[in-house]
Amino acid sequence: MSIQAQPGTWRLSRLWRGVGTALGFIAFGLCALIIGWLLAPPIRLASRHPHSAQRRVRRLVRLACHGLIKALRRLGVIDVRVDHSERLDMPGRLLLANHPSLIDALFLLASVPDACCIVKGQLAANPILRRVILAAGYITTCEPRTVIGAARRVLATGQPLLVFPEGTRSLPGRPVRLQRGAGAIALASGAWITPVRIRCAPTTLTKGEAWYRVPPSRPCFHIEIGAPLAPLAGVDASRQTARDLTRRLEDYFNSPPWEEGLTDDHRAGTRTQALDHRHPGTGRRHAG
């Protein structure tokens, strides 16, 4: 009897997760509209400085993302595990994350106080998202030549900056390939880097996958906050240096699951001696 009931239970679970996913997208759109069109304008009028208004809007975005994730977990749509979440609560860090799923940004925006982020230009043109993106002061790629300068100014003021250096969502089963823009930002700003590795099993909401293609079982997002990487102080911010940094970050993202930091081989080379997984100012490695 129990064996015969399993297929029906499985189909019901999958149907429920499909309904929950649809509700999540609807809630996301409503939150974006409410924050961008209803709450942001009076916040901007009541604030004395543009950055003050942006911080208040980002606080609302963080609360909305936190609420959405909590609702999706309670509905049984997803499960989430975060390792070393305390490493996200550090100002002025460049957060570099891989991008396996459409909703990756929600997890990080919900966890990082006052986080700015770089978003694709097409999102900035989206009628649902554009007002909240503008009100929060997020950097868009509409003008690619201005991105590095804008990112450097954000980091210089102590704001954390979230970047998905792949530029688009990962393809399941393929190695992570990073664009050099994130490395150029790291070199130009001299900021500490916090690598964030995200894995999802089974995969869901991947590139080119329709939202209603619900996986056979509940997907679990495992988010590993890597140990901070020291700034590359005193090196030539050339294209070759950016390529070297990008390659070593790719090695980290593609390394076996849940290794702690970069290996000595990854840190080898005179140009990347400072790429060191240690507690700032102590010289001690993080414990796993």
Residue percentage of the chain with pLDDT more than 90? 66
Mean pLDDT of 83-104: 94
Q: Is the pLDDT of residue 87 over 80?
A: yes
Using alpha carbons only, how large is the chain's radius of gyration in Å?
20
Cα distance between the two ends of the chain: 45
Q: Is the dihedral of CA 205, 208, 210, 214 positive or negative?
A: negative
Q: Is the pLDDT of residue 77 over 80?
A: yes
Edge-first strand order for the sheet with 79-83 is 79-83, 220-225, 193-201, 94-97, 161-163, 116-119, 139-140
Q: Is the pLDDT of residue 255 over 90?
A: no
What CA dihedral angle connects 117, 262, 236 and 244, to 10 degrees?
Answer: -90
- Output the pTM of the full model: 0.85
Q: Is the pLDDT of residue 231 over 60?
A: yes
Predicted local distance difference test score (pLDDT) of residue 68: 97
Q: Is the pLDDT of residue 266 over 50?
A: no
What's the distance, CA 263 to chain centroid? 23
Taking residue 127's Cβ as centre, other Cβ atoms within 10 Å add up to 9
DSSP 8-state code for residue 189: H
Q: Is the pLDDT of residue 62 over 90?
A: yes
Predicted local distance difference test score (pLDDT) of residue 5: 46
pLDDT in tens, 102-117: 999 999 999 999 999 9
Q: Is the pLDDT of residue 239 over 70?
A: yes
Predicted local distance difference test score (pLDDT) of residue 277: 34
What's the distance, CA 151 to chain centroid? 15
Predicted local distance difference test score (pLDDT) of residue 236: 63
